[in-house]
Structure 1
Amino acid sequence: MNHNHQATPDSAMSLADGPPSQLVTKYWLDEASISDIDHFIKTLSGIKAKGVQPDLIGSIITHYACKWIPELSDQPASPTHTDDQLPPESATASWLKKRFFIETIVSVLPPEKDAVPCGFLLRLLKTANMVGAGSNYRDEVEKRVAWRLDQATMKEVMIPCFSHVKGTLLDVELMVRLVKRFVEINLEGLRSGAGLFKVAKLVDAYLAEAAVDSELALPEFMELAGAVPAQARSTDDGLYRAIDTYLKTHVHLTKQERKILCKLIDNQKLSIEASLHAAQNERLPVRSVIQVLFSEQAKLHSHINWSRPISNPKSPNLGLDLTARCNSSRDIITLQQMEIKQLKEHVNKLDRQCHLMQSQIDKLLEKKKGFFSWRKFATSTTLGVVSVEVADGRGGGKGYDSGSIGKQTPVKGKQGRSKTPKPWRQSTS
């Protein structure tokens, strides 16, 4: 990285003397970007000694790092003329040089955590994990990212997993650490609590993307979902979407695991659209579906009770205002009550039909059982009785009047057919 054109310390000192213009700042950044890293560190130390604002120092470091490592820039990498002039080097040498560069950049970051943008820090953390930087350097970057996690975007937090042990596509463990640190910072009162809502939405979107990975274990999914406090979610629609995606991908989950996973959802925080989807979702356990239905019924009753006009108002004008404000909502509430009543009647009708069908099935089973027992009896007496409706010729069957018909012994003819004497045939003709 040694070049002939280097930024002079005089230009750095003149930058620190007063508030520079945007043109001068850009010119000096371009000057500093073509110097080697040793000279850059010396120049940066002189700037810090002059008391330059931390955000300006962070801009200098960001610009310099993005110049030499294109992965740290949010813009697509463009080919430079200096790359063509450099001799080719091995992959190991490039990897070692990049790791040394990353560790050096982390060591010169300003102590103020707001001096460097969160997006640059996340790209820096991604590259540090990729090149295997020291754990102390990575931990420092993680602390800075956790401080400003509410400013991160979905694309920036999707850091791949570079571990050979884990088989997941995304580094879910890293995301868990970042979220837990951010929550601790907010619970300690060091940051405003408004960022928790942004992080909760970010986590739910991240879970929906990570749930597609079949290698993502259930404990990791639940740990990240539970890292956000329950009060940080104004709605659980995003969490429900992530859980539904996980259930769709991981079809091998047991019934107990599905119940444990669905307990993360607060049914009171589901919208009407999400509740309707959950009520018809075959992937959810039956108990969870019933809880969603009961929750919607409770919310509907509470809405009806809240919308009722206040009885015995203190002033007539107040009563008139309440009546005027509730005129439009009464019709809606009446329609809702009628729909609920019709639904209950329909459910009762289906219940009665179900009981009736069950009783008919029981009767058919009893008749079928009696038919087979009578058939068995008739089959066992075929060789000794002419017909089922006549008495046994060898002494009369039970329950039959043998004297009214007459006792005759069946005679076997050809081919095993019963042959009756002529008097018998004449008496029955």
Structure 2
Amino acid sequence: MITKLLHHHHPYTKMNNLSSPDSATFPVDRPTSLAAKCWLDDACIVDIDHFVKTLSGIKAKGVRPDLIGSIITHYACKWIPELSGDPPSPANTDHHSPPESATASWLKKRFFIETIVSVLPPEKDAAPCSFLLRLLKTAHMVGVDSNYREELEKRVAWRLDQAALKELMIPCFSHVQRTLLDIELMVRLVKRYVEMELDGLRSGAGVFKVAKLVDAYLAEVAVDSELALPEFMELAGAVPVQARATDDGLYRAIDTFLKTHVNMTKHERKTLCKLIDSQKLSIEASLHAAQNERLPVRSVLQVLFSEQAKLHSHIDWSRSFSNSKSPILGLDPHDWCPSSRDIMTLQQMEIKKLKENVTKLERQCHLMQVQIGKLSEKKKKFFSWRKLAMSTNLRGTSTEVYDEHGYESCSVGRQTPLKGKQGKSKTPKKWRQSTS
């Protein structure tokens, strides 16, 4: 059926005779998705062995790899609707077919995916990245052989800069890992892409797109409380430092991780925050970091110092610009007006100064309160000792009667000499004669 369709209804009728006029009218190197659909509307009815034989005949005709990739994509989406990315519609489901068991459906999908991977063209740009990611997700779900999964991972890593974040959210089907998403798979994909970048196989702005993709992925996966710190840091460090033009996305991911993992130690927080380059943070991110209580004090100080250095360099640049002649259309430097960014920078500087002054005043107030507390304690101790001394003096004078030698004669208690010179009191009392 497919052979008749190829020879009678498809534009590539004379592919075996490239010098014929028909081949000039319908060139081989013009792939269209409509042609793939026309080819495979009837082909999807037959079994997969017939499809593989027909596809081999198409490859032998010299059809371009991207057209072959579109044919395979269309055929795979017909067999497994999940590979299309759209939910299966009721019109596509066959209600007359007998229901299959879960094991039979699982085995059929695994065999089908292994066959699809085996017939993919050797060119890595043949199939779109979104289709490859959905194929990889299904392959992990049904337990495809490791060789086929590795081939899919290589193809996905080759086009990782064209991937979407939604397609990379592949669940973890392993019983060993406890995370919701397959972090190890993402780490392998990123490392393979970076290796190709270092080897010169990939070049351009793709590594910057991959860095943004990794930061967005980290921000999503950071809400998982089962995600361990080494796994987070491994994925964040898989991207080269120079690939991040700004660290705002990485800071957002780290802040989300700190919110979720509240029981982290100080050492772990310091280790995690070392990934952030404070000089690559924007003004908004720096202001948020300066007020973030979850960050270590050292990280906050680094952010403040970097912003201060940026401000000083900006002020020095503006001074040198005002002292020199303006290169913009011969404008006078005195007529140059500051931009809104300069005004915002000055306002932020004033706000920082006010915050520093408030902090100093709070410290001084705290020190004064401490000093006042110490003085009050000393005052309480002094008055308590004074009351004790007065009470002992009162008890001694009320019962003491002294003889001529200066000793107590009828006092209650033991005899004690009076204080003074030679044991005599300073004011000697007269002897009271007895009237008896």
Partners in 2 of 1:129 and 1:332 — Cα distance?
A: 50
Tell me if 1:185 matches 2:180.
no
SS of 2:113's equivalent? helix
Supply the distance in 2 between the matched residues of 1:325 and 1:46 (Cα, whole angstroms): 77
Report if the CA contact (8 A) 2:37-2:74 is conserved. Answer: no
Match of 2:378 in 1: 369
Distance 1:149 1:338, change over 3 A: closer
Change (3 A) 1:343 1:232: closer
Cα deviation for residue 10 of structure 1 reads: 6.0
Q: CA deviation at 1:397?
A: 8.3
Question: Is 1:294 aligned with 2:305?
Answer: yes
**Cα 1:224–1:85, aligned 2, differ >3 Å: closer, same or farther?**
same
2 CA distance for matches of 1:26 and 1:152? Answer: 24
Of residues 3, 10, 22 in structure 2, which corresponds to 1:8?
3
Q: Equivalent residue for 1:251?
A: 262
Identity of aligned residues (%): 64
In the TM superposition, what is the alpha-carbon distance from 1:11 to its structure 2 partner?
A: 1.6
What residue is the counterpart of 1:385 in the other structure? 394
- Do residues 207 (structure 1) and 218 (structure 2) align? yes
The match for 2:336 is 327
Query: CA shift at 1:339, angstroms?
Result: 7.5
Matched residue count: 395
Report Cα offsets for 1:83-128 as digits up to 9, x if no partner: 2232222111111111000100000000000010000000000000
1:376 CA drift (Å): 3.8
1:354 aligns with 2:352: no
Contact 1:186 1:193 in 2 (8 A): no
Q: 1:397 to 1:304 in 2, by over 3 A?
A: farther
Q: 2:98 aligns with which of 82, 87, 95?
A: 87
Q: Does residue 134 of structure 2 align to residue 123 of structure 1?
A: yes
1:52 is the counterpart of 2:47? no
Does 1:304 pair with 2:303?
A: no
Deviation for aligned residue 1:377: 4.9
- Kept in 1, the 8 Å contact 2:110–2:142? The answer is yes
TM-score normalised by length of structure 2: 0.81
Partner of 1:417: none
Partner amino acid for 1:147? W
Deviates more, 1:23-32 or 1:110-119: 23-32
What TM-score, normalized to structure 1? Answer: 0.82
How far does residue 323 in structure 1 lie from its aligned partner after superposition?
A: 3.6
> Aligned-pair distance for 1:192?
1.8
User: What does residue 133 of structure 1 align with?
Assistant: 144
Question: 242, 262, 280: which is aligned to 1:231?
Answer: 242
The amino acid of 2:374's aligned partner reads L
- Check 1:46–1:330 CA distance in 2 against 1; reply closer, same or farther (3 A cut): closer
CA distance in 1, matches of 2:141, 2:209: 27
Distance 1:325 1:112 in 2: 62
CA distance in 2, matches of 1:138, 1:339: 52
Which amino acid is 2:152 matched to? V
Please state if 1:269 is matched with 2:287: no
Query: Using a 3 Å threshold, how does the CA distance of structure 1 residues 337 and 147 change in structure 2: closer, same or farther?
Result: closer
Q: How far, CA to CA, are the matches of 1:61 and 1:338 in structure 2?
A: 60
Measured in 1, the distance between the counterparts of 2:399 and 2:200 equals 101
Partner Cα distance (1:356, 1:133) in 2: 68
Structure 1, 154-163 or 356-365: larger mean CA deviation: 356-365
- Bigger CA drift: 137-146 or 331-340? 331-340
1:382 aligned counterpart, secondary structure: helix
1:193 alignment partner, SS class: coil
Question: Are residues 403 and 306 of structure 1, via their aligned partners in 2, closer, same or farther at CA, if it must alter by over 3 Å?
Answer: same
CA 344–95 in structure 1, closer or farther in 2 if over 3 Å, else same: closer
Distance 1:306 1:258, change over 3 A: same
Deviation of 1:396 (Å) = 8.0
Structure 1 contact 212–245 (Cα < 8 Å) conserved: yes
Residues 36, 70 of structure 2: 8 Å contact kept? no
Q: Distance in 1 between matches of 2:221 and 2:86?
A: 25
Can you give the 5+ residue segments of structure 2 that lack an aligned partner in the other structure?
16-22, 402-416, 431-436
Report the Cα distance in structure 2 between the residues aligned to 1:28 and 1:252, rounded to whole angstroms. Answer: 59
